[in-house]
Amino acid sequence: MKSIIKSLLLATALSAPLITMAAEGDSLETKVSDSVITTKVKAAFATDDMVEATDIKVETDSDGMVELSGTAATKAEADKAVTLTKSVEGVTGIKDSITITDE
């Protein structure tokens, strides 16, 4: 069941660039860049067994700063989400706003 959810999340994440292009204010190039970073982070979460991708929200600003919010079951899961985010090309910084639910 978890693998099905991750597959659906990955498919949704890969379609995110098309959805985010509708946002106002930034150039098309910036919108694509931001959404590509967000998509890559979500895809990294979806393919990792430790991170529950559906519970962690990812937002990227026009400078490549990524904010992670939502919940993680453990500190280790939250830390892994940050590590995966750092590994994505284009990420310039991370604001970790993840709440730990089980500790």
CB count, 10 Å around CB of 83? 14
Q: What is the pTM of this model?
A: 0.71
Query: What digits encode the pLDDT tens for the residues 53-75?
Result: 889 999 999 889 999 999 999 99
Q: How many domains does the chain have?
A: 1
- Residue 7: pLDDT above 70? no
What is the extent of the structural domain holding 13? 2-100
Q: Which amino acid is at 36?
A: V
- Residue 38: pLDDT above 90? yes
